[in-house]
Amino acid sequence: MRTSFYYIYIILIIILNLLSFAVPYIAKSTPQLSSQFYSGFSLICHQLTARSLCLYDSGIGDCFPQNGQFSESKETIVVAERGTGYKFPVDARDMAIYATMLVGGLALPFIIDKNSKCIPNLLFLITASIPAGVDGFTQLIGLRESTNLIRVITGVILGLVIPFFLVPTANVLLDPTRHR
């Protein structure tokens, strides 16, 4: 009996989330070690501080004020009115996407069979991508600067939908009987 891709997905997304949430704590206690993690995460995220969340003693908040001004800074430790903040290794939208990919993944077996090879209509994924796409594109072309709240909301919408496409697609692609 082969292992379902679902379990591999859940393990990988848990590891990704644990690492994402651990890096600010590592930066706070061992800045030299955290630079290795920030470098690794730079492969999957731009890590712009203005578009990221920071861990403060009082909780999680914006690294920079969300005042419509863009900054290309990639500093990992910021000093704000709230005190010293330690940046998460991915931006606010990516944090929301990864966290809700875990939530969606955990909900998946209650909604569909975890071994399902029935890929939903692509229109659902496209529709879930539109808010993040519009938000990101309007920033890219300079029409506006988004806020981390909007980035998180658009990330949640997209992240919840991804596992329902990724798991069945992987089940199809990894099916050993597929080529017979």
Q: How does pLDDT run along the chain (180 residues), one tens digit per residue?
A: 456 799 999 999 999 999 999 999 999 999 888 899 999 999 999 999 989 999 999 999 999 888 776 677 888 888 878 889 999 999 999 999 999 999 999 999 999 999 999 999 999 999 999 999 999 999 989 898 899 999 999 999 999 999 999 999 999 998 877 665
The pLDDT, as a whole number, for residue 51 is 92
CB 111 within 8 A of CB 164: yes
Q: What is the pTM of this model?
A: 0.91
What are the pLDDT digits (tens) for 72-95?
A: 788 888 887 888 999 999 999 999
